[in-house]
Amino acid sequence: MVIFVGWLEGKTAVITGGASGVGKAIVHRFVHEGANVCVLDISKEKLQLLDSEYGKKVISIRGDARNFKDNRAAVSLAVETFGKLDTLVLNAGIFDGFKKFADLSPEVIEAAYNEILDINVKGYLLGVKAALPELIKNNGTIVFTVSGASFYPDGGGVLYTASKHAELGLMRQMAFELAPDIRVNGVALGGTMTELGVAPSLRPYYTAPTADDRKISISNRNPLKMFMEPEDHVASYVLLASDQSKAITGEIISSDGGLGVRGLS
Ligand SMILES: NC(=O)c1ccc[n+]([C@@H]2O[C@H](COP(=O)([O-])OP(=O)(O)OC[C@H]3O[C@@H](n4cnc5c(N)ncnc54)[C@H](O)[C@@H]3O)[C@@H](O)[C@H]2O)c1
């Protein structure tokens, strides 16, 4: 049930990876809360679907979060269309399919490292770089999508875990450097029912679990015994993007079923 409305009234957000999964749920809720949204995503098909579902409050641009110029184009489009930028949500990401380190050849490590770290880490860095001049004008906010894998082992394999730990470090350092102008926070997701893509060079080794198997495996790993849907996380993004969290920077909201209180057993 939606319990607050209008928390983002009059605000403009750029959301990377907003054409599916968690990103799309954030788009939906941000619009509900009164925001205008510009989505940067690499998938033409998903963007076409998104465009058909929303009116003037959502615009989109096809681009690659790994490139500064595509991030810059998204920011420019948002400002040209809506007049300003208040919030950047960094969310575009890919996964390593839980590939174990011992099973990775050096060649696959080289290829998959570039694929995963470029999107998950460089994409976040360049997203902030592109948005910074506009965010500074409005005392804006940045919200990182991070993960249980930003804190604990076995939320992925070594490459995904390294990338999500790196995102956490970026978030903290940016919160330090960009204060007092910009607040920077993150939402750490637990296992969520999306079709998070696997890095191209790891796909030959990856067999996607069925949705039912995934629900069981996610539920078995957290104290609340739940699998998460994208919608379960979006209120945390609204809070961190809104003026209701004016005193919060450099923090993570863990939206993961309680991974931090699993205990020793
Ligand atoms: N699903 C989970 O269990 C889970 C858990 C923890 C964290 N996360 C994180 O949540 C975020 C969103 O993932 P999701 O689960 O919603 O998956 P998803 O695949 O549905 O969403 C990711 C989106 O990013 C886009 N994208 C991928 N590469 C891109 C690029 N180079 N440039 C621009 N867009 C690109 C995809 O097209 C897609 O729309 C990711 O950062 C992921 O690491 C997911």
Tokens encoding 226: 């739940």
Structure confidence by residue, pLDDT tens digits, 150-179: 999 999 999 999 999 999 999 999 999 999
CA 18 to ligand 1: nearest atom: 39
Mean pLDDT, residues 28-53: 97
Fold of 12-255: Rossmann fold (3.40.50)
* 262/224 Cα distance (integer angstroms): 10
237: annotated active-site residue = no
| pLDDT band for position 265 (cuts 50, 70, 90) | confident
* 118/241 Cα distance (integer angstroms): 25
Which pTM value belongs to this model? 0.98
Which residue's CA is minimally distant from atom 18 of ligand 1? 196
Instruction: Output 2 or 163, whichever has higher pLDDT.
Output: 163
Residues with CB under 6 A from ligand 1: 16-17, 19-23, 40-43, 46, 64-66, 91-94, 119, 145, 147, 189, 191-192, 194-197
Which residue's CA is minimally distant from atom 17 of ligand 1? 196
Cα distances (Å, whole numbers) of residue 175 to 44, 83, 161, 185, 217: 33, 25, 21, 7, 34
CA 117 to ligand 1 center in whole angstroms: 13
Domain parsing of the chain, residue ranges: 12-255
Instruction: List the one residue out of 182, 111, 117 whose CA is nearest residue 156.
Output: 117
CA 95 to ligand 1 center in whole angstroms: 8
CA 195 to ligand 1 center in whole angstroms: 8
| pLDDT band for position 5 (cuts 50, 70, 90) | confident
| pLDDT band for position 264 (cuts 50, 70, 90) | confident
| pLDDT band for position 3 (cuts 50, 70, 90) | low
Mean pLDDT, residues 227-232: 98
Annotated catalytic residue, options 160, 205, 206, 237:
160
Share above pLDDT 90 across residues of the chain, in percent, rounded to a whole number: 97
